[in-house]
Amino acid sequence: MFRFSKIIAPNLIKSLQHKPLQNENAFLVFLQGKKFLSDSANEKFALKHEEIGRPLYFDAQATTPMDPRVLDAMLPYLVSFHGNPHSRTHAYGWESEAGVEKAREQVASLIGADPKEIVFTSGATESNNISVKGVAHFYAPRKKHIVTTQIEHKCVLDSCRALEGEGFKITYLPVGPNGIINMKDLENALTPETSLVSIMTVNNEIGVMQPISEIGALCKSKKVFFHTDAAQAVGKVPLDVNSMNIDLMSISGHKVYGPKGVGALFIRRRPRVRVEPIQSGGGQERGMRSGTVPTPLVVGLGAACELAQREMAYDHAWMETLAQRFLDKIYSKLSHVIRNGDPKQTYPGCINLSFAYVEGESLLMALKDVALSSGSACTSASLEPSYVLRAIGTDEDLAHSSIRFGLGRFTTIEEVDYTAEKTIRHVERLREMSPLWEMVQEGVDLKNIQWSQH
């Protein structure tokens, strides 16, 4: 094709110039290249991908890239210090045990806990399972009631549903349109039979922060244990388990720029919280989580927590700068954009936006060179909108048009500008194709239209 356009095409045009057409009514159409549409149509509706290299990463709530300094800390334990940390009879075991105990101190320091209160797990999912099922089963004969919210992570909700099947009573608290619980609802839900309240610190989908200190104080006054899934909050916002009266806290390694496959669980010692272990074995981690502790991963988690503690103020200020820049650009060019969740009581690195009259999946397809997540569950086999967005009362059409932008430690201003500009261009393009958008522009109130069914 390239040879044809370079060599044959110019010669063909020259010969045609010298040779008159046989029929005076005939005309010649010569197409060069791939432009079958007019330039204006191309600009408006064509998808032009500048796919040079890998996409930009804007999905920090799903996982974060490992900080290179974390890898540096892990490498000796992947190669040289390969002993089992539970081997007490030789130097290889002692070296690994020293690495594990140092990591325990680093994790504890980040949340203001005692190192003996930290139990290493495979991640926040396992920590949540141990917390919810472990506490429920241990105190089951006397207390068979648990309180949680409608917007918890799936592993907490599924653990609660499993307990319901065993005869436990679960209260799923509603949240307001801003995604935050009403403290009166929580107080009214607590009974003498309540053993645990489980409420996440920062929501993974809309980024809202619950009033953890107030919840902790209420639970302490009612003598109910308080568990929080802090996977999205640890290392990003200041947390102190003592001042916030937290009894159990779940931590994930790969959400804090550490390795995947490792996490931690804080379990208070005074007053002591008892859990029934969900895994049988050698009784490691104070009998709460049997299995050989993976030394390199745990060392990586410890290093990531130490870095997060040292750089938290800087990271948070950077998130606020990037988030404000991104939102300013979007709001300056686009109307009918709704931010899901409370705009103030939130973690700035998680921005969930609904673009009215645009299908979220279409926008994701258009933004192929940016790694994003849809706020809707359409990316799975289900076409139902996200249960979190439904819980905050988002209309179904807006829930389907939501996109989550996740900013991280390594996100740059140039990446934010590029993503904002691409988003604006494609939202405008998709709206131009939407008859609903055209009706809104003409002042038609779509909510009052009686749609006929065929």
Dist CA 356 CA 358 (whole Å): 6
Dist CA 401 CA 361 (whole Å): 8
Of the residues 160, 305, 350, 378, only one is catalytic, namely 378
Residue 305 known to be catalytic:
no
Tokens describing residue 378: 């359409």
Following DSSP, what letter does each residue of 265-324 receive, concatenated? EEE-TTTTPP---SS-SS-TGGGTS-S---HHHHHHHHHHHHHHHHHHHHHHHHHHHHHH
Instruction: Evaluate whether 127 touches 265 at the Cβ level (below 8 Å).
Output: yes
From residue 119, alpha-carbon distances to 136, 252, 258, 374 in Å are 18, 12, 17, 33
How far is Cα of residue 159 from the mean position of the Cα atoms in its chain? Answer: 20
| Per-residue DSSP letter, 19 | S
Dist CA 11 CA 6 (whole Å): 9
What residues does 194 pair with on adjacent strands? 145
Helix axes 68-79, 295-333, angle to 10 degrees: 160
Residue linked to tokens 């991963």: 297
What residues does 339 pair with on adjacent strands? 353
Tokens describing residue 400: 């389907």
Cβ-based neighbours of 447, under 8 Å, separated by 6 or more: none
H or E element in which residue 125 lies: helix 124-138
Which residues are identified as catalytic? 378
